[in-house]
Amino acid sequence: MEPLIGMGVLALMGAAATVAGASEDLESDVGSQSNPNSQVQLAPQMMYPHRIYNKAISGEPPSNALMCAVGGTVATVLMSAYNMSPVFAIAMGALLAAIVHGTYSVTAFFGRPTSQKRFKQPVYLDILWSHTPVIMGYSYITTFCILVISYLMVAVLGHPFPLPLLAFIWGIAIGAVGSSTGDVHYGAEREFQSVEFGAGLNAANSGNIVRKGESGLRNGFDNSWFCAKFGGPVTGIAFGMVVFLSGWVTTVFDPARGDAIGWLSVIAGALLVLIMILWNRKIEVAARAAYGPYKEDEVAA
Amino acid sequence: MSAGGPGGEAHGGVAPGKIIAFGVLGGLIGIYGAHFLSIINPAFSFIGALGAICAIVWGADAVRRVCSYGLGTGVPSIGMIALGMGVIASLFGLAVGGIAGPIVALIAASIIGLVIGLLANKVLGMNIPIMEKSMVEIGGAGALAIVGLSTTMAGTFMFDEVLALVVAPGYIAVIFIAGGMGILHPFNACLGPDEEQDRTLAVGFEKGAIAMIIAGIVSMVISTTAAIPAIMIGVFIWYISFAKFYELTKRDAYKVLGTGLLPTEEELQ
């Protein structure tokens, strides 16, 4: 393949991945999933009942893998059995995936608060009716973008894996990136907005999440509104970089052109990882210098 | 996922022995029924997915029993390991077993489960009394779920057909995750001190039905005759089990409210 076409496809994949990353994180924030959900789950037990969606489907990687694998499977069936156009098949696959994801969200929403009967946590149906379509909407966008990436890899870049398997793997990857990148913004910043920045989570604050909003009682929409300012986009950039840079090294240094060039791609990949480790360290040190030291340290000093 | 497990032996409901019999016998009857009746008419391939639902419900119950020992964050992991064991065992069983393939797969999964259970308890020192037994059950349930869904997709459990129609096109990925989520999600969704077995297992049926619908969609590749019964029966089981789950939610919840403010301080006392 022409290197320029390869770079163009890669750019498209990177753009789709950026959108997918942002929507994945905001989807997990509306419903409260993954790590920050531990505190949502704990809150009623600590006498803090709330009106936040408790979407304990599983960790983000398995639930996103399910969405994407279902979408990839349906799209492949429509393309292979009925010769449908890829765009239509991918759209239909993403639609069914969003519906399946919606049912998983609903069972978790009903199941968790109901099992907290002794802590008097009510099940609010208006939260279900208002939040579930939004969760499904975000999951549609995520699945659609992941299927675009997977389809481009199979159809244009000639990847040997079938579409459902690639979609499954990218589903796990986006769940992992969303969980590790975006969760911090929702879990540490939004749920504990009442404590000082950088204070960490003191054991005494466990479950004491912010339950009152800018107007009325806080819910998942308020959280996704907040996270859309930073957590969502930064997750999108992180996942976009994962997709773009991991493809970039083998597009520029194509192993098909010889072993030596293949090794160059490995070296380029290792260099990128090294640069990012150093860069991240610098950001962390700069943030500590600007906003720290922590309160405990001041007291000790 | 999160905190809130009761941290002790699971209580109440249908005895484990009955659920194990339901899973093993239902799973095997479904798989063999689908295999032999599909020769007469491909429309019968949906029976394999019914077997898979039995296995998924069994797996969900086994997860419930072992995770009641406070495995909050371990619930999704244990579901994934179930299908990890299941994939290896089912491919091995179908490859070497011929017509006895599903039984070989079940036995192989049980052995792998026993080894993992022993490693978890003896080497990692988890010291959960029922760990070995549960891992055997979870592995077996995972294997039967995979073979059952594969039989519905391919119309047979013969290795060459399963390899060509399920593994090579990548549909094994959706079996892996839909089966695994069917096993792990019910207890994860209902986790908490007031969890009840019937409510958790209603979710098991509901998630098994979703896996059945997806298997039905894949069987469109073989024939529409096979796909329509699987999808329609799957939707029917989904509706019945979801309605049951909602009914049990209303029974068990503190309050199911259309909307409302938070409980007052006095109410919480």
Position B5 in a domain:
no
Would you say residue A65 has pLDDT above 60?
A: yes
Position A68 in a domain:
yes
Distance from CA of A211 to the nearest CA of B (A): 10
Kindly give the residue spans of alpha helices, DSSP state H, lying in chain A: 3-31, 37-42, 60-82, 86-114, 125-155, 163-177, 183-184, 220-227, 231-252, 259-291, 295-300
Taking CB atoms and an 8 Å cutoff, what residues of chain B touch A50? 262
**Residue A230: closest CA among A29, A36, A53:** A29
**Residue A144: closest CA among A178, A175, A167, A166:** A167
- Cβ B24 vs Cβ B51: under 8 Å: no
Structure-token match 């498209």, residue found: A12
Taking CB atoms and an 8 Å limit, are A104 and B185 in contact across chains? yes
Residue B76 forms contact with A (CB below 8 Å): yes
Position A124 in a domain:
yes
Structure-token match 């907290």, residue found: A116
Would you say residue A220 has pLDDT above 50?
A: yes
Taking the C-alpha atoms of residue B53 and residue B32, their distance in angstroms, rounded to an integer, is: 14
**Residue B143: closest CA among B34, B27, B64:** B27
Instruction: Give the rounded percent of residues in chain B with a pLDDT score beyond 70.
Output: 96
Taking CB atoms and an 8 Å limit, are A76 and B190 in contact across chains? no
**Residue B185: closest CA among B127, B129, B145:** B145
A70-94 pLDDT, tens per residue? 999 999 999 999 999 999 999 999 9
Q: Residue A202 is encoded by which pair of tokens?
A: 């003191």
Taking the C-alpha atoms of residue A15 and residue B68, their distance in angstroms, rounded to an integer, is: 43
Position A293 scores a pLDDT of 61
Position A95 in a domain:
yes
Distances (CA, A) of B178 to A65, A204, B90, B95: 9, 39, 16, 23
Instruction: Give the rounded percent of residues in chain A with a pLDDT score beyond 90.
Output: 73
Position B48 in a domain:
yes
Position A222 scores a pLDDT of 92
Instruction: Give the rounded percent of residues in chain A with a pLDDT score beyond 70.
Output: 96
Would you say residue A299 has pLDDT above 60?
A: no
> Please, which pLDDT band fits residue B32 given cuts at 50, 70 and 90?
very high
Mean pLDDT rounded to a whole number for chain B: 91
B114-143 pLDDT, tens per residue? 999 999 888 888 888 888 999 999 999 999
Distance from CA of A283 to the nearest CA of B (A): 29
Would you say residue B59 has pLDDT above 80?
A: yes
Position B11 in a domain:
no
Taking CB atoms and an 8 Å limit, are A38 and B1 in contact across chains? yes
Position B2 scores a pLDDT of 38
Most B-contacting residue of A35, A46, A66 (CB-CB within 10 A), to test interface: A66
Distance from CA of B210 to the nearest CA of A (A): 7
Interface predicted TM-score of the whole assembly (ipTM), two decimals: 0.94
Mean pLDDT rounded to a whole number for chain A: 91
Position A99 scores a pLDDT of 97
Taking CB atoms and an 8 Å limit, are A111 and B258 in contact across chains? no
Chain A 168-227, residues with CB within 8 Å of chain B CB atoms: 168, 211, 217
Taking CB atoms and an 8 Å cutoff, what residues of chain A touch B221? 77, 80-81
Q: Choose between B204 and A296: higher pLDDT.
A: B204
The number of domains in chain B is 1
Position A76 in a domain:
yes
Position A261 in a domain:
no
Would you say residue B226 has pLDDT above 90?
A: yes
The number of domains in chain A is 1
Chain centroid offset of residue A187 CA: 13
A159-200 pLDDT, tens per residue? 899 999 999 999 999 999 999 998 888 888 889 888 877 677
Structure-token match 């770079």, residue found: A7
Nearest chain B residue to A56 by CA distance is: B189
Would you say residue A300 has pLDDT above 60?
A: no
Residues 6+ apart with CB under 8 A from B174: A69, A70, A72, A73, A164, A168, B214, B218
Nearest chain B residue to A69 by CA distance is: B174
- Cβ A34 vs Cβ A59: under 8 Å: yes
Residue A147 forms contact with B (CB below 8 Å): no
Predicted structure pTM score: 0.93
Write the single-letter amino acid at A62. P
Residue B81 forms contact with A (CB below 8 Å): no
Average pLDDT over residues A6-22: 94
Position B3 in a domain:
no
Average pLDDT over residues A252-262: 88
Q: Which residue in B1, B172, B194 is closest to A118 by CB distance?
A: B194
Structure-token match 């192993």, residue found: A255
A123-133 pLDDT, tens per residue? 999 999 999 99
> Please, which pLDDT band fits residue A206 given cuts at 50, 70 and 90?
confident
Residue A52 forms contact with B (CB below 8 Å): no
Position A279 in a domain:
no
Q: Choose between B88 and B81: higher pLDDT.
A: B88
Taking CB atoms and an 8 Å limit, are B218 and A167 in contact across chains? no
Nearest chain A residue to B177 by CA distance is: A66
Taking CB atoms and an 8 Å cutoff, what residues of chain A touch B208? none
Lowest mean pLDDT among A74-88, A95-109, A211-225, B41-55: A211-225
Q: Which residue in B75, B80, B257 is closest to A125 by CB distance?
A: B257
Nearest chain B residue to A34 by CA distance is: B1
Position B225 scores a pLDDT of 92
Taking CB atoms and an 8 Å cutoff, what residues of chain A touch B252? 114-115, 117
Position A277 in a domain:
no
Residue B217 forms contact with A (CB below 8 Å): yes
Distance from CA of B106 to the nearest CA of A (A): 24
> Please, which pLDDT band fits residue B72 given cuts at 50, 70 and 90?
low
Average pLDDT over residues A213-222: 89
Say how many CB pairs under 8 Å bridge A and B. 208
Taking the C-alpha atoms of residue A12 and residue A14, their distance in angstroms, rounded to an integer, is: 5
- The domain containing residue A106 runs over which residues? 3-252
Position A229 in a domain:
yes
> Positive or negative CA dihedral for A241, A245, A246, A247?
positive
- The domain containing residue B226 runs over which residues? 16-268
Most B-contacting residue of A40, A58, A172 (CB-CB within 10 A), to test interface: A58
Q: Which residue in B80, B190, B249 is closest to A62 by CB distance?
A: B80
Residue A72 forms contact with B (CB below 8 Å): yes
